[in-house]
Amino acid sequence: MANNALLVDERSRDLGNFLVGRLLPFRKKRMVGPFCFIDHMGPSVFSNGANFDVDQHPHIGLCTLTYMYEGEIMHVDSTGAKQRITPGSVNLMVSGKGVSHSERTPNDLRDSSAEHTMHGYQVWIALPVDQEEREPSFHHIKFKDLPRWHENGLAFILVAGQGFDKVSPVPVFSNLFMLDIRSSQKTCFDVRQNLKGEMAVVVVKGKVKLGETIVEAGQMLISKIENECKIDLEEETYILLFGGEALPEERFMYWNFVSSSKARLEQAKQDRNKQNKIGKIKSSQ
């Protein structure tokens, strides 16, 4: 392994009726830019009445970004949002001072005897200090509205943030980037100052090479050098590239809560233990 990168393997986490692969936080690197959490959902095939169901739970101090490759999820939250999450679209929930949400297999798929596949990522982005207690909100951005382009055998989608002289319409609150990059042939990808800050590469499908190291699906590379990333992609390889400028203050995490203040985390913990709802979903899917 080159000494300018960290290699991270997914760690399995049980969500009851569903297993996810956790990539971040990692013991040697808790955050990459403002990104503090990444779960890989699937790919999993549901059949015989099995479904993806994550019941109502609260968040503070962060944004959750959901990005699907296959399958669909119904998102419902305490802002009143009710949105079907489809492949290629971006769904951003800004928790701010507190929001609750649930994510479940849509009703029409639950009632179907056919198999359905689910594969995607959920990412948490820590909010800057002056935005941690903002009002919660939800944003759905369609695939057709995301910047897309081709270059050197690669297809690019700017999921969030800015880079390569383009800006995604997904609302963000700090300097960051997240890109979906897919290769149609063996090729080399070099950032060449088109992205700024810390950065990491998640291999979704296929293989990439860093020097003599081969990185496969389910693994993540974290660069130790800001503003730099040069890797070789095999044919039909998908990667997620993300990062940005690190937030100046340390972030603390407890369960689904993120904050720059330990006292704020303690308050959220007490609210949870007393079964006080941090936001309340007013309707089901």
pLDDT digits (tens, 9 = 90+) for 85-94: 999 999 999 9
Q: How many CA atoms lie within 13 A of 197 on its CB side?
A: 22
In this prediction the pTM is 0.90
As given in the structure block, the two tokens for residue 225 are 């050098």
Give the tens place of pLDDT for each residue, 36-63: 998 888 788 877 777 888 888 999 999 9
Give the tens place of pLDDT for each residue, 123-146: 999 999 999 999 999 999 999 999
Q: Does residue 285 sit within a domain? A: no
Give the tens place of pLDDT for each residue, 152-175: 999 999 999 999 999 999 999 999
Q: Which domain, by its residues, includes 175?
A: 5-273
Q: Does residue 64 sit within a domain? A: yes
* Cα distances (angstroms) measured from residue 126 to each of 17, 176, 179, 211: 27, 11, 18, 32
Distance of CA 78 to the CA centre of its chain: 20
Residue 207: pLDDT over 60: yes
Q: Does residue 260 sit within a domain? A: yes
Q: Does residue 282 sit within a domain? A: no
As given in the structure block, the two tokens for residue 205 are 């499908």
CATH number, position 132: 2.60.120.10
Give the tens place of pLDDT for each residue, 1-23: 445 566 777 765 554 443 456 67
Q: What gap in Å lies between CA 217 and CA 220, rounded to an integer?
A: 8
Q: Does residue 106 sit within a domain? A: yes
Q: Does residue 244 sit within a domain? A: yes
Number of domains in the chain: 1
Q: Mean pLDDT across the stretch 245-260? A: 94
